[in-house]
Amino acid sequence: MATFDELVAEGASAPVDGWDFSWFEGRATEQRPSWGYAGLIASRMAAVESVVDVQTGGGEVLNTVTKLPPRTAATEGWPPSLAVARRLLEPRGVEVVEAGNLDPLPFEDSSFELVVSRHPAEIRWDEIARVLRPGGSYLSQQVGSGSMHDLSQSMMGPLEIDDSRDPELAAHQAAEVGLELVTLKPESLRAEFHDIAAVVVFLRKVIWIVPGFTVDGYLPQLRALHERIESEGPFVAHTKRFLIEVRKP
């Protein structure tokens, strides 16, 4: 059995670019939302001629869609993920452009019938409304308030839950720019970490769970969590997800 130091070293050296989570197979699990986001966006894309995937990450989810609309674009603001997305998507004819989370979207008004986004970090609802065509839809799976709160507290101590990712707040913000709510569905899902290496990789990859996380900076907390996993079994946390669909009148 690997030691604490060996597991931490393994977690610290694993690649974390893009949003491919295959490294975690056998080491961590996360319950999937009931709506099946990848299949859902694929079915919607089959019915439109134009789509943009906002904050695409490394483009991994968009790349699961077998048949892309004639005009397919994607935006990403983090350079390592942008490079991954370009390598993955440009050979398929996708227009991959650089845009930060709060930057104006680099497209003309009424450019797209469909805007999709999986786990956007921040949202410019005004820009979504602007680039949608009348009658077009925004479909997004988002991270809800308190997601992985159990894991954050294991590293940082007692924390209040930030309600800025409340599903009802998202619906309200969309309504403020004239978008009409079609669907709002929240779910709480179980996640398990089977060793401390998986925790380290997850915290390096999903940087907002413990802002500023480094192995050296959190070594005592990591050791305590490792000992807990060794004695009690997998560490259980809970992710919060919600599906939101809004339409431009």
- Rounded CA-CA distance 156/213 in Å is 10
Stretch 174-180: mean pLDDT? 98
Residue 18 has pLDDT above 90, yes or no: no
Residue 76 has pLDDT above 80, yes or no: yes
Assign domain 32-191+234-247 to its CATH superfamily. Vaccinia Virus protein VP39 (3.40.50.150)
Stretch 116-122: mean pLDDT? 95
Q: What is the pairing mode between strands 28-30 and 180-193?
A: antiparallel
Cross-strand pairs, 52:
73, 115
- Mean pLDDT, rounded, of the chain: 96
pLDDT score of 199: 98
pLDDT score of 21: 86
Helix (H) or strand (E) holding 19: none
Between 208 and 170, the higher pLDDT residue: 170
Which has the closest alpha carbon to 72: 180, 119, 91? 91
- Rounded CA-CA distance 173/30 in Å is 29
Q: Which residues of 209-228 are buried (b: 16+ CB within 10 A; e: fewer)?
A: bbeebeeeebeebbeebbee
Residue 216 has pLDDT above 80, yes or no: yes
Listed in sequence order, the residues at least 6 apart from 47 whose beta carbon sits closer than 8 Å to its beta carbon are none
Stretch 82-86: mean pLDDT? 95
User: What's the pTM value of the predicted model, to 2 decimals?
Assistant: 0.86
Which has the closest alpha carbon to 215: 155, 172, 141? 155
Percentage above 70 pLDDT, the chain: 100
For the chain, the distance separating the N- and C-terminal CA atoms, rounded to the nearest angstrom, is 59
Phi and psi of 85, rounded to 5°?
-60, -40
CB-based contact 117:104 (threshold 8 Å): no
